[in-house]
Structure 1
Amino acid sequence: MTVLDELMGCMLGQHDKFRNREWAIYYLSKKFTAREMNYSLLERTCCALVEDEDRDKWIVWFDGTSNALGHGVGAVLVTLDNQCIPFTTSLGFDCTNNMAEYEACALGIQAAIDFKVKLLKVYGDSALVIHQLRGEWETRDHKLIPYLAYIKKLTEFFDDISFHHNPREENQMADALATLAFMFQLTLHGDLQ
């Protein structure tokens, strides 16, 4: 565990006796808010320990993409035993990148609801979407307001759900799923082309 003035990070690792190496099985990082940065080092360390108790939560990673080639979304649901369940779909309508991000977030949360998850941490690399879902940023774009309202409704299915921003480089699997989604086209008979 590392606790600095502005952020903390911790990693749970496991030693593989057969290959004689260690590998990470859980990683958590958190940027402290302005108020949390005023805490003493001891208080920030306690905050880090409390965050580590989130190991009983399932995780969703999501990403959406929209460009001239197409529109796709991807999400990965991570179980308590670290199993990854991927979801991906292409969007059959024109949309902005932010709309695709919201669609991806909704896909991941809906998957968690289908698995009857009650404790969930949601990670996405769209700062706009994450901060709007946390209520920290105002949603002014009329195209995004229905998405925000829909996801807020979905949060009622959980005992605890939290939204976290992560850098794009830490969101590679969901990003790859979103990109793959619009690369495949289905015919009217459901065959891949």
Structure 2
Amino acid sequence: MNGVVEAANKNIKKIVGKMIETYKDWHEKLPFTLYAYRTSIRTFTGATSFSLVYGLKAVLPVEVEIPSLRVLSELKLNKVEWIQSRYEQLNLIEEKRLKAIHHGQMYQK
């Protein structure tokens, strides 16, 4: 993968290093670290890895506690409307992935 995995591991290690208080509690902070890593925008693709996999932006825990406009609008949808909305989002995922590939190619040039 041309060092992509090594670069990802290096970044995750840096994030964990900033979050831990003692070297013994790193495993407790790992889920939060991975969430932060997966929801941050990569320069190479111009998108988050979460959005490329699932086709939508991640809902942050604070958005559930203090509902954002996005969360409130989805709560007001009935089941059929929500399914239709999700289906449309999933249809756009391939377009997002192709855009990320193109962005990566341009970044390499």
Mark yes or no: TM-score above 0.5.
Answer: no
TM, length-normalised to structure 2: 0.30
Structure (1 or 2) with the greater strand fraction = 1
Structure ranking higher on relative contact order (CA contacts 8 Å, 6+ apart): 2
Normalising to structure 1: TM-score of the pair? 0.20
Q: Which has the higher helix share?
A: 2
Larger Rg computed on CA atoms:
1
